[in-house]
Structure 1
Amino acid sequence: MAITASKDTTADLVMHDPVWQRIREEAAAIARDEPLLASMAYAAVLHHERLEDALSYILAQKLGNAELPPLGLREVIQEAFASDPDLGHAVRADLVAVNERDPACRSFLKPLLFFKGFQAIQNHRVSHWLWQQKRETLAFLLQSRGSEVFAVDINPASKFGRGILIDHGTGVVIGETAVVEDNVSMLQNVTLGGTGKETGDRHPKIRRGVLIGAGAKILGNIEIGEGAKIGAGSVVLIPVPPHCTAAGVPAKIVGNCECEQPAREMDHGLPFHRD
């Protein structure tokens, strides 16, 4: 959902940005109904005019430390959003993805404030922007802080599309030349890694609509085709054709997917074959 307002008033920005409007409504309700959290709701959401401003505050507070002062970090994050408006569009698409696919999520506010998978993706989007600006040291510092804080380690050079869900997040590792296209869902402890000490293009390419189960390891410069499904705990060393299901150690093709984009359905079941 893209923001389309051109005026600068909070009312105009909120009215033309339904995701941000929903977040502000949810924050106002929390401030009203849970007094202990009122100051947090105002500091993180209600004092800001735009979602990008709120997110920059939240990330800076979580990732900042003595070596990376929160105020300076927030300025860097705001610089990224101002330089590349597509980052803001991607943030909204990710929030919609979490809200639609995660049964534990019943709001837009909660992932913004609390879901480390969502926050780790947004940290990566900023670190990738820094990488593209040739500010590699700061990009790696953000990666390092994200790994420490969120337990999600994403190389700043890796490429992400929109509408990404990393559910739970803990233990996810994504390598330098990995590509994750639009509308992909993955769970905890997923690795998109290499197979050894090879250099160059050496990490997986995950196409649109793929679902990757918890603990799956996809290794090497292989393609997981559009709408494919990877079973939990699998070790994938071979390409997976579009709309196919792979499972096992090592993984094999065990059947076809029943829907176009398993990532949206979040059905981790595998095809059943009678002996």
Structure 2
Amino acid sequence: MAQPRPQIAQCDPLWQQLRAEAEKAVAGEPILGSIIHAGILYQQSFERALAYRISMKLGNAEISAQALREIADEAITADPSIAQAARADMQAVFDRDPACHSLLQPLLFFKGYLAIQSYRIAHWLWDQGRHELAYLIQLRMSEVFTVDIHPAARIGRGLMIDHGHSIVIGETAVVGDDVSMLHDVTLGGTGKHDGDRHPKIGNGVLIGAGARVLGNIHVGDYSRIAAGSMVLKDVPDCVTVAGVPAKVVGTGGCSKPASQMDQGFEAVGE
């Protein structure tokens, strides 16, 4: 496979940085050479590398990696916003996760990041009316990454799912831009009624581990949901809620809680 032309990497700083980190990783750990060369250094662009990595993780006996790569390439080519969102998600992980020390790590090793990008391909298929194929990708994403996002859900850019384990996001859920959520979060419905039944999460929201947000409710911009909380009612902007059921216990803590990842709070009245 041909090496990328130098001018392609030079006009794309993120891709240039990824390639530099890949070369350093191969030099330091040669046993990873086949993975990194095939997945990054032999690829023509970030977009191609992303499609390749998703396909290699989700392919199995029922649907081949080659078929999935063709689907991912088709989606990313048809809708440039997929790759733009993937870049924003990667930067969000690098900026917010203290365990992330390179841009290479999310693409190769972080299942939360890879699950989000798999969802973005499934969502494109859903919007094209290719629902059965979208459901298949959702199934594989859930099996491989333990992250179950319905392909009809709407998710903004700059999402970080820390640890990427036991996440459930329902069909009519909406997640804004620059949101952070930790493991074991559910954005679910209540009862068995059809229609608009899942939460709407505003921009810049921080959702703690084990939180449950249920029903067609709205969580305001730049608010925080404490770990283990069950949210059943609307949440105002710029506050912290905690408890079962959750109630307002303090301010949002800072102007951008999802970026700061600060889960402490100042109680109301203090």
**TM-based fold match above 0.5:** yes
SS at match of 1:122: helix
* Residue 16 (structure 1) shift: 1.8
Contact 2:208 2:226 in 1 (8 A): yes
Tell me how far 1:271 sits from its aligned partner. Answer: 2.3
Residue 12 of structure 1: how far off its partner (Å):
2.0
1:57 is aligned to 2:52: yes
Residue of structure 1 equivalent to 2:103: 108
From 159, 171, 177, give the equivalent of 1:182: 177
Aligned: 1:133 with 2:128:
yes
| 1:231–1:270 contact (8 Å) kept in structure 2 | no
Matched residues in 2 for 1:204 and 1:114: separation? Answer: 29
Check whether the contact 1:53–1:78 (CA below 8 A) recurs between aligned residues: yes
Q: How many angstroms apart in 1 are the aligned matches of 2:157 and 2:267?
A: 32
Equivalent position of 1:22 in the other structure: 17
Q: Return the match for 2:33 from 30, 33, 38.
A: 38
Verify the 8 A CA contact 1:234 1:250 in the aligned structure 2: yes
Q: 1:274 and 1:224, CA in 2 relative to 1: closer, same or farther beyond 3 A?
A: closer
Whether contact under 8 Å (2:253, 2:266) holds in the other structure is: no
CA distance in 1, matches of 2:122, 2:90: 19
Match of 1:245 among 237, 240, 244: 240
Deviation at 1:198, TM superposition (A): 1.7
Structure 2: gaps of 5 or more residues: none
Aligned equivalent of 1:145: 140
- Secondary structure of residue in 2 paired with 1:255: strand
Whole-angstrom distance in 2 between the partners of 1:60 and 1:103: 28
1:266 lines up with 2:261 in the alignment: yes
1:67 Cα deviation from its structure 2 partner: 1.0
CA–CA distance in structure 1, aligned partners of residues 59 and 216 of structure 2? 34
Could you tell me the TM-score, scaled by structure 2's length? Answer: 0.97
* 2:205 is the counterpart of 1:210: yes
Q: Taking every aligned residue pair, what percent have the same amino acid on both sides?
A: 54
RMSD (Å), alpha carbons: 1.4
CA deviation map 1:41-84 (0-9, x unaligned): 10110000111111111111110011111101100000000000
Matched with 1:4 is: none
Q: Which residue of 2 aligns with 1:5?
A: none
Q: Does 1:161 align with 2:156?
A: yes
SS at match of 1:25: helix
1:258: Cα distance to partner?
Answer: 2.5
8 A contact 1:193–1:217 mirrored in 2: yes
- Contact kept, 8 Å, 1:234 with 1:248, in 2: the verdict is yes
The one-character-per-residue Cα deviations of 1:76-116 (angstroms, maximum 9, x if unpaired) are: 00000000011111110000000000000010001100100
Q: Does 1:88 align with 2:115?
A: no
Structure 1, unpaired ranges of 5+: 1-8
Displacement after TM superposition at 1:262 (Å): 0.5
Q: CA deviation at 1:272?
A: 4.1
Look up the match of 2:112. Answer: 117
Alignment partners' CA distance in 2, 1:271 and 1:215: 21
Instruction: Tell whether 2:225 aligns with 1:230.
Output: yes
- Distance in 1, Cα, partners of 2:269 & 2:239: 19
Please tell me whether residue 67 in structure 1 is matched to residue 56 in structure 2. no
Deviation at 1:30, TM superposition (A): 1.1
Task: Tell me the TM-score normalised to structure 1 length.
Answer: 0.95
Is 1:255 aligned to 2:257, yes or no? no
What SS does the corresponding residue of 1:183 show, helix, strand or coil?
A: coil
Moved more, 53-62 or 205-214: 53-62
**CA–CA distance in structure 2, aligned partners of residues 112 and 262 of structure 1:** 24
CA drift of 1:273 comes to 6.4
State whether residues 216 and 231 of structure 1, in contact with CA within 8 Å, keep that contact through their aligned partners in structure 2. Answer: yes
The offset of 1:223, in angstroms, is: 0.4
Partner of 1:6: none
Decide which moves more: 119-128 or 26-35: 26-35
Q: Which amino acid aligns with 2:264?
A: G
